[in-house]
Structure 1
């Protein structure tokens, strides 16, 4: 399988929304993604392609010298193939290229697969946001990585 990363474009939104809907509850709206791509000067979004098909996406906000990973999602049929790793590496590289000194993210307390991936890349658990996820009031783990 050929894997590549590129910037997300407006024409990617139909596919991104399919992945978003199957991954998150509640999902972000199409309008939210459109605003991120066209109006939010702090936001950078990328997609990962598997043999030319969009298989996932991720985003980061670049705020002064910190990066905040907003989301990472992989289509269910492509999970376990290293595409989440490729996206995370792409987001970290965006931060490195812009002289970001640290990256943060929130992850569901129960999402062991994601937490394990983040830890492999040097993210450390720093705190908890109680009842962060509105669908079930699950806590979020706050993680940070210095660059």
Structure 2
């Protein structure tokens, strides 16, 4: 947990408390992923099932600052999208800070579209095709 908190601190405006990371959410442990290098966490994607919206929501996606620009976030997202497709869930949603232009460009490259705004946040979504829940 210590390593996850260190990586989270790299984005102080969006940093979670430890209790938020440990909070139980539907599907969280099924869909969340960790990126390891030499046995150490260097990135992660935290997501949960929003069955009422027929979607999976990404709460956090971050790669350690030292490992950015190596396309590891892209690989993490591709692995995640494959899991979502296998589960036949039609949509992935997320919120991103409007000032985080690098993340917004990344999500657009990953086929997410802007679908709304909430305060200082953009809502984005990616349609996964004609998927049906199992």
Tell me, yes or no, whether TM beats 0.5.
yes
Unaligned runs of 5+ in 2: 129-134
In the TM superposition, residue 142 of structure 1 has moved relative to its aligned partner by 0.9
Q: Distance in 2 between matches of 1:27 and 1:120?
A: 24
Aligned residues: CA RMSD:
1.6
Deviation at 1:41, TM superposition (A): 3.1
Q: After TM superposition, list the pairs within 5 Å mapping 1:99-114 onto structure 2.
A: 99-114=88-103
Which consecutive aligned stretches of 4+ in structure 1 deviate over 4 angstroms post-superposition?
none
Q: Aligned pair 1:25/2:13, yes or no? A: yes
1:76-129 CA-partner distances (Å, limit 9, x unpaired)? 111111111122112212211211101111111121211111111211111111
* Residue 104 (structure 2) aligns with: 115
Where in structure 1 are there 5+ consecutive unaligned residues? 1-12, 131-138
Query: Are the structure 2 counterparts of residues 91 and 143 from structure 1 closer, same or farther at C-alpha, using a change threshold of 3 Å?
Result: same
1:66 deviates by 0.4
The match for 1:143 among 102, 111, 124 is 124
Equivalenced residue count is: 124
After TM superposition, the score normalised by the length of structure 2 is 0.83
**TM score, norm. by length of structure 1:** 0.76
Partner of 1:40: 25
Alignment correspondent of 1:84: 73
The separation in 2 between residues aligned to 1:16 and 1:144, in whole angstroms, is 25
